[in-house]
Amino acid sequence: MEERKLELVRKLSQLGIQKDPHWLHRLDEPAPLWVVLELMMEMIEGMNSPHHQPFD
């Protein structure tokens, strides 16, 4: 398995997001487009929230 995929799983595990060991065998499965778009919207909305301010 590619090192970048393993690193992603390690990071997700450290954050407590990845708890299912079967994810390691499913990393190359396609995700529905709506899931990808929803994640993108959540990231954009999080960046535009009043709580996300630069430190300078």
Interval 12-32: pLDDT, tens: 889 888 888 888 888 899 999
pLDDT of 48: 81
Locate the domains of the chain by residue range. Answer: 3-47
Spatial distance between the Cα atoms of 7 and 46, rounded to a whole number of angstroms: 24
Structure tokens at 48: 């535009």
Spatial distance between the Cα atoms of 12 and 3, rounded to a whole number of angstroms: 14
Spatial distance between the Cα atoms of 27 and 1, rounded to a whole number of angstroms: 9
Nearest to 23 by CA among 10, 42, 41, 32: 10
Whole-model pTM: value is 0.55
Provide the Cα torsion 41, 6, 15, 23; round to 10°.
Answer: 80
Q: How large is the average pLDDT for residues 45-54?
A: 74
